[in-house]
Amino acid sequence: MTPITLANPWNPLDWPLTHGPIPYAVLAAGWGALLVLAVSRNRSWWSFRLPAALFTAAALSLLLGVVVDGWWHPFPEGTPDYVTWWVAVALLGFCLVGYRLRGVSWRRRGLALGLGSLVLLMAASQINIGFGQYPNGKIMLAPFLTDTGAKIAPKVAETASAPQGSALSEVWTPPAGLPGKGTVSQVYIPGAKSGFVGRSAYVYLPPAYQANPRPLLPVLVLITGQPGTPADWVLNAQVNESLDAFAAEHGGLAPIVVMPDQLGSTWGNTLCMDSKIAKAQTYLAADVPDWIDKHLQTAKGRGSWAVGGASMGGTCALQLGVNAPDVYGTVLDMSGQEEPTLGSRDETVRKAFGGDRAKFESVDPLSVMAHRTFPDTSVAIVVGRGDYDFRPGMEKVYQAVQAAGMKAKFDLLPGGHGWGAWRIGIAEQLPWIARQTGLLK
C-alpha cells in the first residue's frame, strides 16, 4: 500500500494535482487567459505589439535554450521537450503582459498581471504533471509538514537475528508497545576516506528498531537523481510512509534506509565515480557503510545490504553493484541511464578522466559486465511505460545484467520519467528487496 492510496478525499491537501479536475481546470484557465491576452480591439496591437510579443517570446525561448542546454547543461540528456514547450508558453504569456502594460489604467495592468499569472500557473502545472513532483498539496508542502528531527536511537546491548537459512520475519515476534511508525533523522556523513563533502543525509529507522532486543535489520541505501537532494526521498517520494505501511504489515519490520548525498549540490554531477570531479564511489562504498556500522545496529554482509536509486541515482546504484559487489548484493535501478554521463561519452571522459577512455570503461557498468559475471548479485530494473527517453537504455541494461549472470528482473511502472513513477516503484519493490536481503522468505 502506498501513501497515495491513503489519501483523504475530504482533505484539500490530498486532492490530486497531476490528474483529475484540478489540473484540467488550471489548463483551461491558462489557455483562456492566454487567448484574452492575445486579443485586442486596438489596431496597433495587431500591427505591432502582438508580433513584437511573439518575436520576443521566441527569442527569449531560444536564448534560454542556449544558456541552459548549451552553456549551463544541468541535465546530461538535455532539457525534456515538454519542459521547453511549457517554458516557452509561460514566456509568451508574460511577453503579452509586458506589451499590454504601457498606457493603460492600473486596473487593466492588474488584470493583465493576473492573466499572466494564470498562464504561468498552467505551465507549472503541466511541468509538474510530467515530473510527477507534487501529486498533491500534502507532498508540495512536505518541507513544512514533515518532521525529520528525530534522533538516532542509541545502540542496545541485546540484538536478535535469524538463524542461517531463515528469514528474520520467521523468528520475529513484535513486543508490546512497539511504535506504529518509524523515525526519520537528518544526519551528516563525513567523507573520511574519500574527502567528499556532501549535504545532510536522511536515515529511516523502522518501528522494530525501537525494540529491545533489537532485530538486526537489512540496509537499503537510496540515491537520488540529478538535479536532486537526499530530501527528495522523504519529501517527494515519501519513502518513510511506504516503509511505515510495509512495517505495519510485517510486525514493525522494514529495512533501515539511509539516503546519502552523492552530488554535493543540487545541480552537481559527480557521476558516482572516483574521478577528477570527486571520489563519489569511495564515499558511497566506504564512507557511508563505515558511518552505518559505527552509528547503527544492522545485519552484516553484502547479502543484507541493498542499494537503489532513481534516474542518475539508478545508474549510480548499478555502478556500485558492479564496482563494490563486496558491499552491496542487491541493486534497484529505477529509470537509470545507459551509462554515467555528463552529456556525451567524449565529454564525460574528457572532464572526469582527462581523456583516458580506459579509466572510464574500467568503472562503466556495461563495460565491466562485458568482462565479468556477478552470479551472487540480484538486480531489479524498473522503468515507466511512458519513459520513452530512458526505457530503451533500461532494456539494454537488463540484457547486460542477464548476460553478466545476475539474478535479474524487469518491471514496468505506470508513468514516465519522474517521481510519479518512482514513488510507486519504491513502494512496489520493497517486498522484493526484503526477500533478497533476508527480511522475508
What does the alpha-carbon distance between residue 146 and residue 419 come to, in Å, rounded to a whole number? 18
pLDDT, residue 3, reads 44
- Please list the residues that pair with 383 across neighbouring strands: 412
Segment 124-145, tens digit of pLDDT: 999 999 888 888 888 888 777 7
Asked if residue 1 belongs to a domain, the reply is no
State phi, psi for 83 to the nearest 5 degrees. Answer: -65, -45
Q: Tens-digit pLDDT profile for the chain (441 aa)?
A: 344 444 566 788 888 888 899 999 999 999 999 999 999 988 889 999 999 999 999 999 999 989 988 888 777 878 888 999 999 999 999 999 999 998 889 999 999 999 999 999 999 999 999 888 888 888 888 777 777 888 899 999 999 999 988 999 999 999 999 999 999 999 999 999 999 999 999 999 999 999 999 999 999 999 999 999 999 999 999 999 999 999 999 999 999 999 999 999 988 999 999 999 999 999 999 999 999 999 999 999 999 999 999 999 999 999 999 999 999 999 999 999 999 999 899 999 999 999 999 999 999 999 999 999 999 999 999 999 999 999 999 999 999 999 999 999 999 999 899 998 999 999 999 999 999 999 999
Alpha carbon 427 to its chain centroid, in Å, reads: 13
Asked if residue 352 belongs to a domain, the reply is yes
Q: Are 227 and 310 in contact (CB under 8 A)?
A: no
* Same domain (yes/no): 117, 194: no
* Same domain (yes/no): 81, 189: no
pLDDT, residue 102, reads 82
Q: Is 296 left (phi over 0), alpha (psi -120 to 50) or beta?
A: beta
* Domain limit, last residue, from 104, 131, 158: 131
pLDDT, residue 257, reads 98
User: Domain of 410?
Assistant: 146-436
413-to-1, 76, 130, 376, 399 alpha-carbon distances in Å: 15, 23, 15, 26, 18
* Same domain (yes/no): 165, 219: yes
Question: Does the bond joining 227 to the residue before it have cis omega, within 30 degrees of 0?
Answer: yes
Asked if residue 173 belongs to a domain, the reply is yes
pLDDT, residue 8, reads 60
Q: Are 234 and 275 in contact (CB under 8 A)?
A: no
407-to-186, 326, 389, 412, 419 alpha-carbon distances in Å: 34, 16, 25, 17, 26
Look up the CATH number of the domain holding residue 183: 3.40.50.1820
* Same domain (yes/no): 415, 313: yes
pLDDT, residue 140, reads 86
Segment 258-279, tens digit of pLDDT: 999 999 998 899 999 999 999 9
* Same domain (yes/no): 33, 112: yes
pLDDT, residue 293, reads 97
What does the alpha-carbon distance between residue 123 and residue 103 come to, in Å, rounded to a whole number? 28
Tally of domains in the chain? 2
* Same domain (yes/no): 124, 248: no
* Domain limit, last residue, from 79, 102, 131: 131
* Same domain (yes/no): 126, 152: no
218, three cell numbers = 537489512
* Same domain (yes/no): 366, 398: yes
* Same domain (yes/no): 151, 126: no
* Same domain (yes/no): 110, 177: no
* Domain limit, last residue, from 67, 101, 131: 131
pLDDT, residue 9, reads 67
pLDDT, residue 379, reads 98
Closest to 441 in 3D by CA, of 178, 158, 172: 172
Asked if residue 79 belongs to a domain, the reply is yes
* Same domain (yes/no): 167, 309: yes
- Please list the residues that pair with 306 across neighbouring strands: 220, 330
- Please list the residues that pair with 420 across neighbouring strands: none
pLDDT, residue 5, reads 45
User: CA 85, 89, 94, 97: dihedral to nearest 10 degrees?
Assistant: 160
* Same domain (yes/no): 297, 419: yes
pLDDT, residue 7, reads 53
Asked if residue 9 belongs to a domain, the reply is no
- Contacts for 1-8: CB closer than 8 Å, 24+ residues apart: 1/245, 1/249, 1/427, 2/241, 2/242, 2/245, 2/423, 2/424, 2/427, 2/428, 3/238, 3/241, 3/242, 3/245, 3/423, 3/427, 4/135, 4/136, 4/423, 4/424, 6/241, 6/245, 7/136
